[in-house]
Structure 1
Amino acid sequence: MLRTLDPRLRLRHLQCLVALASHRSVLKAADALAQTPSAVSKSLAELEAITGETLALRHRKGLELTPAGHILLRHAAQAIGALRDGFELLGTGEKAPEHVRIGILPTAAATLVPNAIRQMQARYSHLVVTAHGGTNADLLVRLKLRELDLVIGRISHPSEMVGISFEHLYMEPLVMAVRPGHPLLDAPALQPADVRAYPMVLPMKGTYIRPAAETFLQSSGIGMPQQLVETLSSTMARSLMRTGDAIWFVPYGVIELDLDDGLARTLPVDTSPTSAAVGLTTLGTGELPEGARLFIDVMREVASEMRNRNRRSLMQEG
């Protein structure tokens, strides 16, 4: 039976569904929408009554959309995105600058993306980049909701890549970064026990690179350090490394500028087994906006330039 658009449907119903899918919690969705939790629950109940479907289920770990909820979500996100684009074009009557909405993981934030933005601005002055940071999982959710055009960084876990496309740009390892003058840099023959004796800064559990770091530490005989700091903050990790003897186990792209400026060194440890692909993640369906396609072309050029330079730098540091 063909369904018609129910006149009871309001924009707040669609906004509610998108917020619940993004935050997986009535409380967090209410906070994001500046509404009360009861108002969010009411909007969800009304939307379920309008559609005649159960759209979300509550579990211990949070709220999860049903298959029907995911179907409606895809179209709700598209509708809200189309309205947002329309409002951006209103105003002066002149063509508004085209926005490229990107999600950036830390490994791409220091060098790759800034270099691409500089080159893009030199060629396409009408493009405006809106950059969002976050964890891999958070950015992929926003990509699926069409709040982002693409995500740039390390490839995610295969379970999170369903329905999206990844374009490989280059391989990147984790490295063990320390301050210049660190005692381990003068060690005649670095032993696993020597590394384990110093504080180490690792990405938090739940991030995609944490298992890669732990697997390497165990397989290399280093094991988990006696003193450990877990953080997603590059600012804090960099401070711990620079002002003490902490070892920062970090993607090369995050520490690259510090290495170039002589503010950090890498320990002579072969960390190549931790290498993973860095690239562009898109929905892989439909046509990307022109601005996003132009930006991706520039990204490919910049990544090509970076490959050989990164390889030479790693050889020199090693």
Structure 2
Amino acid sequence: MENRINFRHVSCFLAIARERHVGRAAERLNLTQPAVSKTLAELESLANVRLVERGRHGARLTPAGEHFLRYAVDVEQAMKSAAGALEHPVAPPVKVLQLGALPTVASGILPNALLRLRERQPHAGVRLQTATNDMLLSALKAGRLDCAIGRMAEPSTMQGISFELLYAEPLVMAVRPRHPLLSERRPSPQAVLAYPLVVAPSGTVPRLNTDAFFDAHALCVPGNCTETLSVSVARLLARRSDAVWITPEFAARDDLERGELARLPLTVANAEEPVGLLRPSAGEPIELVEALAAILRELTLADNRQDASRARRPLRPVSAKRTRKR
């Protein structure tokens, strides 16, 4: 019987069950009433049981018909789903880039890189994880990341990982535009410590360079500073208070260029941190990683050209009147 019952039997039975009338079922199916009656008779003959009782007041399902109705509805729904799948084929699986980045990088060069990647690979997805450099290296080695934008580490921790240098990033001290320290021509490191500090956590490269800067002046980072990897929190603390945010330059670049933060005229010597693309040195190249690498090279090259242009630009002369005001 399974091989002989087909969907026209089921659809005919469902039309009668819903209309409770053979004539109206025929109209619903766009068939003649004798054709519907014949199909129902075939189904009842195959099942060897009466499914519908017909009388003066229409058609009524028998107990066997009521039992069959529950399964017939499921068959109809399955057929509709199958037809829908044929009309709308399943899209090919989306390629997803598993990307890691330092928090300071994620708010610096990375947004523009991801925008360009979206333009060139509109059907690709990105899963971004921000973490410390050590955590990024561990995730790369474990295969949880395809690539990461981070810093060169000790040779012992870089085994199996290749590093492509993108740029060297200095540390800056960023404060709100009307910060008291900006009134001093060249504030001292001692003067900086008179204000709350926002710094990277202990053990990170930016913090090591921060500690080295104060050590060189026989000073140290106070214990009541705010340590955070969150760029969003750090920048808001600097913008809303007298806190001094000591950070890699790219993390604060947008705020500095828009004038929402200002750079203190203090140079943190020998604190340029090499930032680059980290990826496993073994295995086949991944298309999305190669695409991102090309974009990062373009952006850093353009940025280096802008920096060179700024360096060649002559300084504007300061009038005597403006000097007296200062």
Instruction: Give, in whole Å, the separation in 2 of the partners of 1:113 and 1:274.
Output: 21
Provide closer, same or farther for how the CA distance between residues 311 and 179 of structure 1 changes in structure 2, counting only shifts above 3 A.
Answer: farther
TM-score, with length taken from structure 1? 0.65
Provide closer, same or farther for how the CA distance between residues 207 and 311 of structure 1 changes in structure 2, counting only shifts above 3 A.
Answer: farther
Q: Where do 4+ consecutive residues of structure 1 move more than 4 Å?
A: 310-316
The match for 1:64 is none
Q: Which amino acid aligns with 1:194?
A: A
| Structure 2 residues not aligned, in runs of 5+ | 1-87, 314-326
Q: State how 1:243-258 maps to structure 2 within 5 Å.
A: 243-258=240-255
User: What is the CA deviation profile of residues 18-52 of structure 1, one whole-angstrom value per residue up to 9, with x for unaligned ones?
Assistant: xxxxxxxxxxxxxxxxxxxxxxxxxxxxxxxxxxx
Instruction: Give, in whole Å, the separation in 1 of the partners of 2:312 and 2:141.
Output: 38
Instruction: Give, in whole Å, the separation in 2 of the partners of 1:288 and 1:211.
Output: 34
Q: Report the identity percentage.
A: 36
Q: Which amino acid aligns with 1:292?
A: V
Instruction: Give, in whole Å, the separation in 2 of the partners of 1:235 and 1:255.
Output: 10
TM-score, with length taken from structure 2? 0.64
Contact 1:165 1:284 in 2 (8 A): yes
Contact 1:197 1:226 in 2 (8 A): no
| Structure 1 residues not aligned, in runs of 5+ | 1-90
Residue 224 of structure 1 and its aligned partner are, at CA, apart by 2.6
The match for 2:265 is 268
The match for 1:24 is none
Instruction: Give, in whole Å, the separation in 1 of the partners of 2:156 and 2:241.
Output: 38
Provide closer, same or farther for how the CA distance between residues 124 and 189 of structure 1 changes in structure 2, counting only shifts above 3 A.
Answer: closer
The match for 1:73 is none
**What secondary structure does 2:160 align onto?**
coil
Provide closer, same or farther for how the CA distance between residues 179 and 313 of structure 1 changes in structure 2, counting only shifts above 3 A.
Answer: farther
The RMSD of aligned alpha carbons is 2.4
User: What is the CA deviation profile of residues 201-221 of structure 1, one whole-angstrom value per residue up to 9, with x for unaligned ones?
Assistant: 111112232211101221145
Q: State how 1:77-156 maps to structure 2 within 5 Å.
A: 93-156=90-153
Contact 1:177 1:264 in 2 (8 A): yes
2:172 to 167, 171, 175: 175
User: What is the CA deviation profile of residues 180-232 of structure 1, one whole-angstrom value per residue up to 9, with x for unaligned ones?
Assistant: 10111111342232122121111111223221110122114554347422222
Provide closer, same or farther for how the CA distance between residues 157 and 253 of structure 1 changes in structure 2, counting only shifts above 3 A.
Answer: farther
Instruction: Give, in whole Å, the separation in 1 of the partners of 2:155 and 2:130.
Output: 21
2:239 to 237, 242, 257: 242
The match for 1:233 is 230
**What secondary structure does 1:129 align onto?**
strand
Provide closer, same or farther for how the CA distance between residues 110 and 309 of structure 1 changes in structure 2, counting only shifts above 3 A.
Answer: farther
Larger radius of gyration: 2
2:285 to 265, 283, 288: 288
Residue 272 of structure 1 and its aligned partner are, at CA, apart by 4.0
Contact 2:95 2:124 in 1 (8 A): yes
**What secondary structure does 2:270 align onto?**
helix
Contact 2:189 2:214 in 1 (8 A): no
Residue 93 of structure 1 and its aligned partner are, at CA, apart by 4.4
The match for 1:49 is none
Q: Which amino acid aligns with 1:273?
A: N
The match for 2:197 is 200
The match for 1:72 is none
Residue 176 of structure 1 and its aligned partner are, at CA, apart by 0.7
Task: Establish whether residue 301 from structure 1 lines up as the match of residue 298 from structure 2.
Answer: yes
Residue 242 of structure 1 and its aligned partner are, at CA, apart by 1.3
Provide closer, same or farther for how the CA distance between residues 164 and 242 of structure 1 changes in structure 2, counting only shifts above 3 A.
Answer: same
The match for 1:278 is 275
